[in-house]
Amino acid sequence: MPPKITGVLETVLYVSDLDRSQRFYETIFGLTFVTKAPGRLHAMQVKQGQLLLLFKQGASPDHDGAGQNHLAFSIPRAELAAWERWLCENQIEIVERKKWELGGESLYFRDPDGHLLEVATPGVWPVY
């Protein structure tokens, strides 16, 4: 049996413009800026003990990523309509609305780099 883990600490998206992406995630999700390595990364707190790292594409010799990725944020079921209004108010196109077999619902939209983002209510997965 492997040693115990306590969760996912960091999630990474590779972006073309660090400042633009930081503003997007602060504005749309209310994430808190934590720290940065100038020209390389900006760290954003999702909640206590969880970070979204925005890495500048091509700026890290030990790792890099290209293409569009996917990231989902969990939301309370009661907030789904508020999220739909919030995205509309911020002129962010919802590219898909999905109702899941287990009763969950998701809204999909894109960030400035084209990454597919999702807000999802409970009932998307057997564990959520």
CATH topology of domain 68-128: 2,3-Dihydroxybiphenyl 1,2-Dioxygenase; domain 1 (3.10.180)
In whole angstroms, give the CA distance from residue 50 to residue 124.
21
Q: Confidence class of residue 3 from pLDDT cuts 50, 70 and 90? A: confident
* pLDDT tens digits for range 84-98: 999 999 999 999 999
State how far the alpha carbon of 71 is from the alpha carbons of 52, 62, 68, 93, 124, in Å. 10, 22, 10, 16, 14
For residues 73 and 93, give the distance between their C-alpha atoms in angstroms, rounded to a whole number.
17
Distances (CA, A) of 105 to 13, 17, 74: 24, 31, 10
Task: Residues 1-59: name the CATH superfamily.
Answer: 2,3-Dihydroxybiphenyl 1,2-Dioxygenase, domain 1 (3.10.180.10)
Average model confidence (pLDDT) for the chain? Answer: 96
pTM score of the predicted model: 0.93
